[in-house]
Amino acid sequence: MAWADEESTKPHIVVLPSPGMGHIIPLFQLAKRLVTHHRFRVSFLVVTTADPIPAAQTNLLRYTAVPSDLHVIDLPPVYVSDLLADVPPGLTPLCVMVEHSLRLNLRPVLLELSTRPTAIVIDLFCTQAFDICGELSIPVYSFFTASTVLMAFSLYLPTLDRETEGEFVDLPEPVQVPGCRPIRTEDLLDQVRIRKSDEYKWYFLHVSRLPKAAGIFTNTWKDFDPVPFLALKENPFFLNIPTPPVHPIGPLVKEEEPITESDKEILTWLDKQKPDSVLFVALGSGGTLSSKQLTELAFGLEHSQRHFILVGRTPNDASAMGAFYSAGGNEDDPKTYLPEGFVKRTEGVGLVVNSWAPQVAILSHASTGGFLSHCGWNSTLESMVHGVPMITWPLYAEQRMNATHLAEEVGVAMKTVVEPWNEVVGREEIERVVRMVMEGEEGKVIRKRAKELRDSARIALESGGSSGDSLARVVKAWKLEHDTK
């Protein structure tokens, strides 16, 4: 082994995300926090393939300020394109990439590090690390990058699988996760809808390994998810699995991002608008709409007569996550895929941005008063950190669960209503919900709640706050482990 612990007085942590900005962002923020707040050395491992690296990932890992003790290490690329030639975007290609990369690369890369890692933090889809790190006697912690509601469901899934016949989406009643609010079958995440699918098999494989973790980090805070936290801590079901210690350490979100010249133009436009007057419309790093739905969205925004920023993206009639592996790349001119004359007609009221926008800078701006979002967990947390109420527009994965949680339990969002006979959200419904959030009485209520949670999130991360202290307890244990070596 190449480890030489005497070379460093600082504990060394390895952080390993799976591909995709929804996974990379929160684990990268944890890595930075360990270095800047707790004086650790961190090696941040990045799974790569022969395909070009998405521009958004490069901007985050290479062009933002990175502390000197945080080292970004690209794992040697794996060549899996032949295996994925006919596989649609989703969990399966992600898991195939990770499986091949970790099987070939993780052990030798860990052994080449100059100092022995005190622990490794992985996200949910890197559980191959349990066996590899077990052989090297490195404790493995899981970072669950989605909601605590989904984590409770995921820990319950092996039992649900064992006790249920048929497909979960055909169950006559909602799924009752012990100690939690029932989950409607139509809100279940995509990966568990068809149990014989590869998507389900991969998801089941990874969540069934969660009990192997030395601990589970969650990117949230207790005031935001009190019911599932209490269930995980006190419900007999979770105590008997047994569930590893759960450490809420969030909300960990991007605090900064590179600002380009075109980004400056967006912020200059925002500077001219009234406080809380602009609706920000963005569907995450990978979300795409069908041509018909994008047309309805555009007309709904136009008819609402409310100021907006729309992040335009080439429509995809085959997949709602058509941009997942190309986040931040250049795309076609929005005028080529938005309704004819839309950009011209809404000039001054709306601003159309091509493909990617500085989301943190926009959400933190005083003029931003609402966020029409796909409800990915990173975007949800960024909205809450800046006190911005939401319109839910879930597209894939667990986003329908998030949308229901935000609207019905947390009270910070409005859901659009889709008629049973219609495959898209119509322009009239979009206009109605936009007006409601931006100027209606309901909008005032959820805006007040969002600003309360903004203050709660800030307190949680401080020293003495619930998340700050939760991470500090793990850090203390890691430092003790390092000092006894």
SS (H, E, C) the chain: CCCCHHHCCCCEEEEECCCCHHHHHHHHHHHHHHHHHHCCEEEEEECCECCCCCHHHHHHHHHCCCCCCEEEEECCCECCCCCCCCCCCCHHHHHHHHHHHHHHHHHHHHHHCCCCCCEEEEEHHHCCHHHHHHHCCCCEEEEECCCHHHHHHHHHHHHHHHHCCCCHHHCCCCECCCCCCCECHHHCCHHHCCCCCHHHHHHHHHHHCHHHCCCEEECCCCCCCHHHHHHHHHCHHHHHCCCCCEEECCCCCCCCCCCCHHHHHHHHHHHCCCCCCEEEEECCCCCCCCHHHHHHHHHHHHHHCCEEEEEECCCCCCCCCCCCCCCCCCCCCHHHCCCCCHHHHCECCEEEEECCCCHHHHHCCCCEEEEEECCCHHHHHHHHHCCCCEEECCCCCCHHHHHHHHHHHHCCEEECCCCCCCCCCCHHHHHHHHHHHHHCHHHHHHHHHHHHHHHHHHHHHCCCCHHHHHHHHHHHHHHHHHHCC
Give dist(CA 398, CA 190) in Å, integer: 7
Ordered per-residue pLDDT tens for the chain, 485 residues: 556 554 468 999 999 999 988 999 999 999 999 999 999 999 999 999 878 888 788 888 887 778 999 999 999 999 988 888 888 888 999 999 999 999 999 999 999 999 999 999 999 999 999 999 999 999 999 999 999 999 999 999 999 999 999 999 999 999 999 999 999 999 999 999 999 999 999 999 999 999 999 999 999 999 999 999 999 999 999 999 999 999 999 999 998 888 889 999 999 999 999 999 999 999 987 789 999 999 999 999 999 999 999 999 999 998 876 555 555 555 678 889 999 999 999 999 999 999 889 999 999 999 999 999 999 999 999 999 999 999 999 999 999 999 999 999 999 999 998 876 678 999 999 999 999 999 999 999 999 999 999 999 999 999 999 999 999 999 999 999 998 87
Tell whether omega for the bond before 394 is within 30 degrees of 0, i.e. cis: no
Give dist(CA 51, CA 326) in Å, integer: 10
The catalytic position among 23, 307, 365, 386 is 23
**5-254+462-483 classified as CATH 3.40.47.10:** no
Instruction: Give residue-wise pLDDT tens across range 431-460.
Output: 999 999 999 999 999 999 999 999 999 999
The catalytic position among 12, 38, 69, 123 is 123
Q: What CATH number was assigned to the domain covering residues 261-458?
A: 3.40.50.2000
pTM confidence score: 0.94
- Are domains 5-254+462-483 and 261-458 of this chain identical in fold? yes
Token pair 């001054």 in the structure block, residue: 348
Q: Would you put residue 105 in left (φ > 0), alpha (ψ -120 to 50) or beta?
A: alpha
**Domain ranges, ordered by start, for the chain:** 5-254+462-483, 261-458
Instruction: Give residue-wise pLDDT tens across range 122-139.
Output: 999 999 999 999 999 999
Catalytic annotation on 123?
yes
Please name the residues in contact with 64: beta carbons below 8 A apart, sequence gap of 6 or more. Answer: 256, 257, 258
Catalytic annotation on 405?
no
